[in-house]
Structure formats: structure tokens, C-alpha cells
Amino acid sequence: MTNRKILISSESVTEGHPDKMCDIISDSLLDEALRQDKYSRVAIETSTKNGGVMVFGEMTTKGYIDIPRIVRDAIKDIGYTEASFGIEWETCSVWVQITAQSPDISQGVSEGEGLHKKQGAGDQGMMYGYACNETKELMPLPIILAHKLTKKLSDSRKNGVINYLRPDGKSQVSIEYGKNGKPLRADTIVVSTQHEGAISHERIKKDVIEQIIKPVCKDWVDKNTIFHVNPTGAFVRGGPYADAGLTGRKIIVDTYGGVGRHGGGAFSGKDPTKVDRSAAYASRYIAKNIVAAGIADKCEIQLAYAIGVSEPVSVNIDCFGTNKISIEKIQDLVNEFFPLTPHEIINHLNLRRPIFKKTASYGHFGRNDPDFTWEKIDKADLIKKEAGLNK
């Protein structure tokens, strides 16, 4: 018999982290394309280092996208308003390398075209959705707390509560779980934040613990919780000056913090014909409704697609032994009541809208926002009734 602690850790980053900055820029460009033409095809990557930003990829749209302006506005909104912060929105260089979508891909995702005629997936791949009942958001506790820490860090900077903070920052939360799989306490909390150079480490640590960590994590902190605040001792140089950024390098931050699996495809900069994004949202929608219905305490859905083919090539469900009815019955409910083809997913979740910039930071899941249609639990009562659990 062992008394080993069961610890699960998840991290989050602020919108000023170089990788997140690139996600935000990519989704800002996507939103502008969808705002002008809801059928825009977009697959945009962004990279940044020092005072430069490169935007590259594919875009087919009827609109006119002023790319440098949108890039600069996104950088300004994040808070990079002085070169000393790591980049400056007005003077940074913006290099653009964008071409139209490949016609071979286009015919596979256009209704009535291609080999199979129906709107197919924009690429092959597998996507995962996950939900569990350990938080009201039906998300794993470590990633929810990590996101709330970085969001509060950013809010405290923007509203001047801690006026020496700068845009770049990170958090990490390690939660101790009991043998029943339920969270018990916060074991270790890490917050690293960029700051003005003249501020002492002692002041930063005190302010972050009292104004950021304790308000967010108060229900989980005890006398033995370990706090690490700027554990190198200083974090003055940040943003693209300190570290290169690239779209899609924070996919575990974007999803379930390492608790649920990830198929590998990034979300940001991709229009909803790309199943990397839309099917990941659909699989979260399915998993969340299954857990909300009480059919299982945990649920993970895998969807897999072939490029140009509308129906998924596989649907796999894993409830980790917590299911109240058979997996076969759950599979039948999923097939009957949930959207699974790209066309059905896009229409059911209403994804041809300029809503994606705000998904790019603080997680794509577990958010209470009406635009996050994949977070609705509107199928829960129906599938609970069909499963026979409300008798």
C-alpha cells in the first residue's frame, strides 16, 4: 500500500504571452474575414520575435482584409503599447505571406463539388472532447483555476489594480486528488508575471498572492499550499523580445490542461470548415451534455475524419468506468441527437460568425459566454430522458 499523492497540474498563459499573442492575431484576422464574408476560408498562422510579426497561410474571401491594421490593433488591445514591454503596436514590422486556399482542398469542403459532393472535412485528423463533473463548468479543476489566475492577472494589469504588471505571464496549478478521483486541495500554485523593472520581488510576491492567487483559489488553498511567484527572481524582459511566438503552440492550454487528450490540431486562425476546430467544439458539446445529463461522471469523445468526406470515419466514447448506462446505448444517443458531419456541426453550433478572437486566450472550453455555443447543455434533459435516468 502506498500513500503517494495523486497530483494533476495544468497551466495557462496570459494574452501577452508570445504564443497566445499569435493565436489572438490569427483569430482576429479570421473574425474580420467572417465579418465580411461568412463563407471565408481561412487558415492563418502568425509568428513573432523582437519587433516583427509574420502572418502566413491561406485565405479565400470576398472581403478586403487590412491585415497590417488588424495585426497592430490586436497587439494594442493586448497591451503592447511600449517597445520596452517586448513589442510596440505602431512601430512593429508586419510581413504578410498569404495565398488563396488550394482548389484541391476547396472542392472537398464545398457542397456539390469534389468526389463525394457533400461538404466534407477540411482535412483528416482526430479530435477529442472531454467533460467531468468536478467543477460547475464541467471541466477539470486544475485548468479552470489556471485560466482564472491568468485572467485575473491580466484584468489587474488593465484596470490598474497592480499597475506595474506587463502583458506577459503564466500560471500553473497542481491539485491533489483523493482515491475517489475527487479534488482535495491545491498543492502548488505558480504565477510568473512580467513587471516593471524597479519593483522588488518581495512586493510582487505579496501582491500576487494576496490579490491574484488567494481570491481565485481560496476554496482550495490550505496552510500547506506552496506558492511560487516569479521563481527566477525577476521577469522584466518579456513578450516577443524575450521569446518567439507561434500560433498553435499552446493547444493543451486551449483545451483540458492535459487531463483530456488532444488530437494534435490547433484551433486559432482556422475557419469552421476545418474539423480541427469545429469537430473539437462538437466533441466537447457532446461530452458536456452526457456529463450534464448524469449519464457519466467523466466522458471523452473522439471524432475522426477523412479529408473531403462528410461522415466521421470513427466515433469513440470513453467514460472511464463512470457511465450509468452502456457505452453502446450512449453511442446510439450520440448518433441520434448530436451533429457529426461538418455541415451539421457548423449549422447547429452557428460557427460562421466572428466570435473567435475571444476564444484565443483563457481557454476554448468551460467559458460562460453565449457565443460559445458548444458549451450549451441543451441536449442534457433529452438524452437523460431517452436514457431512462429520470424515471
| Residues forming the active site | 17, 19-20, 45, 58, 170, 235, 243-244, 249-250, 270, 274, 276
Q: Facing residues of 169 across strands?
A: 193
Q: What's the Cα-to-Cα distance from 233 to each of 202, 205, 213, 340, rounded to whole Å?
A: 9, 10, 18, 49
CB proximity list for 243: less than 8 A, separation 6 or greater: 18
Number of separate helices (H) and strands (E) present in the chain: 12, 11
Whether the Cβ atoms of residue 35 and residue 185 lie closer than 8 Å to each other = no
Please name which of 387, 182, 181, 220 lies closest in space to residue 292, comparing C-alpha atoms: 387
Backbone angles phi, psi at 318, to 5 degrees: -135, 120
Q: What's the Cα-to-Cα distance from 354 to each of 149, 342, 364, rounded to whole Å?
A: 26, 18, 15
151 in helix, strand or coil?
helix
Please name which of 28, 74, 80 lies closest in space to residue 51, comparing C-alpha atoms: 80
